Amino acid sequence: MIKAVIFDMDGILIDSETIWHEAEIKVFGRVGLEMAVGDCLKTQGLRVDEVVDFWYRQHPWTAVSKTDIADQIVEAVIVGVKQRGVLIDGAEQALGFVGSLRLPVALASSSSYALIDAVIDKFDLRSHFDVIYSAQEEVLGKPHPGVYITTARKMQVPTDQCVAIEDSINGVLSAKAARMACIAVPEQVARYDRRFGIADCQIESLHQIGPELWATLSGNG
């Protein structure tokens, strides 16, 4: 039985993946790393410091520290979110439906609290969540399950009674490693990636989160 719901943020509540891609391409370009959107998809769902580590291992640079690069990416994303960030289509409807279930609801994101706060405040979403938690507090980010295990603990709900709503492979892996049910809502370019098959269900839009889907999940729980 599902007793708590946990939302990812980037790509689930806010349409920020393009903003992230642009920020990464721009900032990594400053240290001579030429990237395309396809390269950004390789690290989607990871914590920003782990994204930087990933590319540093493949193309080391010396001019700027890894911490500075990570900070520059986050700053660029925050500016982008504030200027042109929009909610994912169906996000408000999904939050409303989940709220009507009167279950604990959390936000668990790989993003820093600075970016989480920028999104939450821009769209006035804070009242929807009982717990807001960032993987920046964990030793490892997604796909490690720590962010989800800690979030469930904060809600005082066993992980196997939680459902996570995710858009990335790394996020789905994190949720399933925490023994949670998982609804995958991949962006269109990743929709046919067979790795999403480990999710309990895959949907094309947050508009599909409603009574019928919930009955299916509860039956599987």
Choose, from 10, 49, 167, 200, the residue flagged as catalytic.
10
Question: CB-side exposure of 99: number of CA atoms within 13 Å?
Answer: 12
Whether 200 is catalytic:
no
Whether 193 is catalytic:
no
Nearest-angstrom CA–CA distance, 72 and 106:
28
Q: Which two tokens stand for residue 58?
A: 């493949």
Find all residues with CB under 8 Å of 92, minimum gap 6, and list them.
none
Choose, from 8, 71, 167, 200, the residue flagged as catalytic.
8
- What are the CA-CA distances from residue 99 to residues 14, 37, 114 (Å)? 18, 35, 25
Q: Answer for the pair 220, 202: CB distance below 8 angstroms, yes or no.
A: no
- What are the CA-CA distances from residue 26 to residues 23, 90, 115, 162 (Å)? 5, 30, 18, 37
Q: Which residues are catalytic?
A: 8, 10
